[in-house]
Amino acid sequence: IFLWRSALLEWLNLRGVEMATVLITGTNRGIGLEFVQQFLARGDTVLATCRQPNSAPALQQLQKEYQHLQVLRLDVASAESLQHFPQQLSVDAIDIFINNAGVYGPRNASFGNVDGETWMSVLRVNSIVPILLTQLLIDKLRAGDDKKLLYLTSKMGSIDDNTGGGSYVYRSSKSALNAVVKSLAVDLAADGFTSAALHPGWVRTDMGGPNALIDTATSVAGMMRLIDSLGTEQSGSFFNYDGSVIPW
User: Could you report the per-residue pLDDT of 151-198, keeping only the tens digit for each?
Assistant: 999 999 999 999 999 999 999 999 999 999 999 999 999 999 999 999
pLDDT of residue 71: 98
Q: What is the mean pLDDT of the chain?
A: 92
Does residue 205 register a pLDDT over 50?
yes
User: Could you report the per-residue pLDDT of 51-82, keeping only the tens digit for each?
Assistant: 999 999 999 999 999 999 999 999 999 999 99
Q: How confident is the model at residue 14 (pLDDT cuts 50, 70, 90)?
A: very low
Q: Which residues of 206-242 are buried (b: 16+ CB within 10 A; e: fewer)?
A: ebbeeeeebebebbbebbbebbeebeeeebbbbbbbe
Phi and psi at residue 230, to the nearest 5°: -65, 135
As a whole number, mean pLDDT of residues 196-211 equals 82
Residue 126 CA to residue 179 CA, distance in Å, equals 12
User: Could you report the per-residue pLDDT of 16-49, keeping only the tens digit for each?
Assistant: 457 999 999 999 999 999 999 999 999 999 999 9
pLDDT of residue 207: 66
